[in-house]
A = this chain, B = another copy of it.
Amino acid sequence: MSKPHILIQLDTDSQPSVFDGVVAVDSGVAHLFRHSGITAESVRDRVHGAVFTRGVDDLKSTALFIGGSDVALGERVLTAVKKSFFGPMRVSVMLDSNGSNTTAAAAVLAARKHLELAETTALVLGGTGPVGRRAALLLAREGAKVRVGSRSAEKAEEVCREISEVVPGANLVGYAAGTPEQTAVALVSCQLVIAAGAAGVELLSTQALFNTPGVRVAIDLNAVPPAGIGGVEPLDKAAERDGIICYGPIGVGGTKMKIHKAAIRRLFETNDAVLDAEELYELGKSL
């Protein structure tokens, strides 16, 4: 008989996320150990407590979830967690700080329903932020031509270089997209635009969206008004507006939640899963 499933929630914020906790319960976790204030420096003891308490055959019944609002900190915690394993003495771990991985995966999966990604040119606005970078990575993996838009063309180019290192042969270009004029230029010839910017900032106007020929899918991930893409509504889920298929943050949310729950269940199938952006995207494809 397998041991009760324990999920250890490693949250970098001062309070552990209620959102992540409820999703864990709804994914069938029997016991949730909720930790807040987690840092990369101090996580080792938590990991050792997870890997040195059950026999190797039972380690798949213990798993780690890294969350919190600071994605960069979550990434450092994941690195530290992986360093704390000892050969087979390891447990599965998932990173979804600020929902960044499940959101990026759900957005690209939405686009994939309507476009042949390998033949798509995509603009990712807010492309140097955590969600944008992940969306760009996933699109690049699918063979899309990816334009990373950012107020700073330099930072955009840096993200392109980083992704190219892990996706050989990727077709990535950085674009300055800090003004309406720049953004309009960046959008020319794109079939897909994803807005993954800061909350409450419009990155693309209604006019720019509907006046640019060729755009077929627009996905806005900003949940706080005003919308990140003018004209896209939060609840839009493949809503056709003037010939463009639109998704809003809540419209993408259903798929995001499905990926999140499937991922929690996946953690308990083996003791060696590391679920980061690409693994969560692949998982989402299989649902």
Contact-size category for A: 35 or more
* Pair B50/A22 contact, Cβ less than 8 Å: yes
Query: B-facing mask of A17-48, CB < 8 A → 1, else 0?
Result: 11111110110001111110110001001101
Which of B6, B26, B35 sits near A22, CB closer than 8 Å?
Answer: B6
Note all chain B residues with C-beta closer than 8 A to A286: none
* Pair A33/B35 contact, Cβ less than 8 Å: no
Q: Give the number of times this chain occurs in the complex, counting copies.
A: 3
Nearest chain-B residue to A18 (Cβ)? B49
CB distance from A63 to the nearest CB of B (A): 12
Which of B3, B21, B45 sits near A15, CB closer than 8 Å?
Answer: B45
Given contacts A31-B25, A32-B31, contact A19 B52 (CB under 8 A): yes
List residues of A (252-274) whose CB comes within 8 Å of B's CBs.
Answer: 257
Residue A207 at the chain B interface, CB threshold 8 Å: no
CB distance from A211 to the nearest CB of B (A): 34
* Pair A15/B42 contact, Cβ less than 8 Å: yes
Nearest chain-B residue to A17 (Cβ)? B49
Interface centre among A4, A26, A42 (most CB of B within 10 A): A26
CB distance from A88 to the nearest CB of B (A): 14
CB distance from A237 to the nearest CB of B (A): 15
Note all chain B residues with C-beta closer than 8 A to A16: 33, 35
* Pair B3/A53 contact, Cβ less than 8 Å: no
CB distance from A271 to the nearest CB of B (A): 14
* Pair B34/A22 contact, Cβ less than 8 Å: no
Q: Please, how many angstroms separate the alpha-carbon atoms of A257 and B54 in the complex?
A: 10
Note all chain B residues with C-beta closer than 8 A to A277: none
Note all chain B residues with C-beta closer than 8 A to A21: 6, 33, 49
* Pair B18/A46 contact, Cβ less than 8 Å: yes
CB distance from A13 to the nearest CB of B (A): 8
Nearest chain-B residue to A26 (Cβ)? B3
Residue A62 at the chain B interface, CB threshold 8 Å: yes
* Pair B15/A35 contact, Cβ less than 8 Å: yes
Query: B-facing mask of A136-171, CB < 8 A → 1, else 0?
Result: 000000000000000000000000000000000000
Q: Please, how many angstroms separate the alpha-carbon atoms of A46 and B20 in the complex?
A: 11
Residue A8 at the chain B interface, CB threshold 8 Å: yes
Note all chain B residues with C-beta closer than 8 A to A53: 18-19, 22-23, 26, 257
Give 12 CB contacts A-B under 8 Å.
Answer: A3-B25, A6-B25, A17-B49, A18-B46, A20-B49, A21-B33, A22-B50, A22-B54, A31-B32, A32-B33, A33-B34, A53-B257
Binding site for B on A (CB under 8 A): 3-4, 6, 8, 14-23, 25-26, 30-35, 37-38, 42, 45-46, 48-50, 52-54, 62, 257
Q: Which 7 pairs of residues, A with B, have the shortest CB-CB distance? A: A18-B49, A19-B49, A22-B53, A18-B46, A25-B31, A21-B33, A19-B53
